[in-house]
Chains A and B, each alone.
Chain A
């Protein structure tokens, strides 16, 4: 099953042009298969996933639990090795991209180090893993400001709310200036109001940094609101169901969710998900 992303269909022509000139896809998967063996037998988490994610784009992996969307993200991040198939991240093996510090990862729970203040957490990527060849343009303090946490630099994680912790995690993922930002249900544990606000802010961050984002969610509305493309995965075994392009204009605002086009896309995704 192949879901090839057509460049000409992208709403932002200049992004597509930039992607072509710098070597095309940020992520290219070909027949990724992932099996786990447990006491209860072998589980096929991913079954022959092929996809191509253009540089600078925002792609969401959407699917029911057990469709392997998080597993796919972990394969891209070199946190897991596929059983079969090939994968290229920024034109090389995932390990090379990881060692080059080109990947930023935001976890479901913010995974902040509780003994470090907000700014110390954001600085962590600069302290480990050797020097970064092309460190991000923004300092930890600037990034905290970018995610709306100016004035909270010296707060410890336990002093921050869930939404604020996740903002710190996003700033931390951006500090090494990654070309690829992977987000594994980052707002899944947040209340709806916080989640909406962070969705809007994430789009602003994406537009101002120009990084490629791969976002995992099981919320249809989040997927439509954020993405340029939504890749719907079916469960057991995890496989590509459909690639849905989202032609909503940028910048996006929350009230856009009431437009006929948004409602139509959400409805379409819901019907696709029902067959997964």
Chain B
């Protein structure tokens, strides 16, 4: 191979432009492969679904064809969107409330050992009660408005974040703690420069779970008692045997959930730029 003249050395790495271009091209190809393969699989499954519905002459109220679902998605988008808004607000407020409370409580737990020993078992116990069981209690307590849905979404977010945040704040490299002592760092400095930073990867994995579960919480809350929202629309469509609308509603709900998840992932990549050592 003829020697490239575009070489430079940065910090021990020899930079060869031709080699670098080839490396980048391979990386790009692998990336596209990673994107296109799932897309192809989805299209394949949709075609199979559509083929099965047509071939076996399945009645639309049992299982509609993807074409019928798309038609409803377009024709009744106004209704779908109008019902998405309250669910999105409930999920988002619940997400904020639940995670804020979890982070605050985790901070208290890390500073006051007694508080953790007293309340952590209770938190775990409440967490073992299924959402569908907690939901009616909250509806009775908070009424028929948005409040119980926000509360359910918050509760569902709260526990994974609490557990992960406590772990993230505590699982600090013991030598790093000793280093902070040698440096005579104040407890405040240890918390912000060491514990908080250390907890971020743990926090974001909890927040990503919370992003999708908060939507589930809001929907479950709407099932118990509501006239609007994705959950209410699911119930109405089911009872009316409007199966294409049911499917369309589910698609709208999941799309929102996925977008919320993606948004948190995007923020994570902005905040946690370093590779987690134990990830």
Chain B CB within 8 A of A260 CB: no
24 residue pairs of the A-B complex, CB under 8 angstroms, read A77-B182, A78-B182, A105-B179, A111-B178, A113-B194, A113-B197, A114-B276, A115-B273, A115-B274, A124-B183, A125-B183, A128-B180, A128-B186, A128-B189, A128-B193, A129-B186, A150-B11, A151-B10, A151-B11, A151-B12, A156-B275, A157-B274, A158-B274, A158-B275
Q: How far is the CB of B200 from chain A (nearest CB, A)?
A: 8
Q: A265 vs B198: C-alpha distance in the bound complex, in angstroms?
A: 46
Q: If the complex has contacts A128-B183, A130-B184, A151-B12, are A111 and B175 also in contact, measured as CB distance less than 8 A?
A: yes
> Which residues does chain B contribute within 8 Å of A128, judged by CB atoms?
180, 183-186, 189, 193
Chain A CB within 8 A of B254 CB: no
Q: A118 vs B181: C-alpha distance in the bound complex, in angstroms?
A: 20
3 cross-chain pairs, A with B, having the tightest CB-CB distances, nearest first: A151-B11, A129-B184, A111-B175
| The residue from B179, B180, B197 contacting A115, defined by CB atoms under 8 A apart | B197
Contact with B along A92-136 (1 / 0, CB 8 A): 000000110101110111010111100000001101111000000
> Which residues does chain A contribute within 8 Å of B173, judged by CB atoms?
109, 111
> Which residues does chain B contribute within 8 Å of A158, judged by CB atoms?
274-275, 277
Chain A CB within 8 A of B67 CB: no
Chain B CB within 8 A of A6 CB: no
B interface, CB within 8 angstroms of A: 10-12, 173, 175-176, 178-186, 189, 193-194, 197-198, 200, 272-277
Q: A64 vs B193: C-alpha distance in the bound complex, in angstroms?
A: 36
Contact check, A109 vs B175: say whether CB atoms are below 8 A apart: yes
Closest to B12 in A: A151
Closest to B185 in A: A128
Q: How far is the CB of B188 from chain A (nearest CB, A)?
A: 10
> Which residues does chain A contribute within 8 Å of B181, judged by CB atoms?
78-79, 98
Contact check, B176 vs A113: say whether CB atoms are below 8 A apart: yes
Chain B CB within 8 A of A189 CB: no
Closest to B175 in A: A111
> Which residues does chain A contribute within 8 Å of B197, judged by CB atoms?
113, 115
How many of chain A's residues have a CB under 8 angstroms from any CB in B? 31
Closest to B275 in A: A158
Q: A125 vs B12: C-alpha distance in the bound complex, in angstroms?
A: 27
Contact check, A98 vs B175: say whether CB atoms are below 8 A apart: no
Contact check, B182 vs A103: say whether CB atoms are below 8 A apart: yes
Q: How far is the CB of A128 from chain B (nearest CB, A)?
A: 4
Closest to A110 in B: B175
Q: How far is the CB of A41 from chain B (nearest CB, A)?
A: 24
| The residue from B179, B185, B272, B276 contacting A111, defined by CB atoms under 8 A apart | B179
18 more A-B contacts (CB under 8 A) besides A128-B185, A157-B274, A158-B275? A77-B182, A79-B181, A98-B181, A98-B182, A104-B182, A105-B178, A107-B179, A109-B175, A114-B275, A114-B276, A115-B273, A125-B183, A128-B180, A129-B184, A129-B186, A129-B189, A152-B11, A156-B273
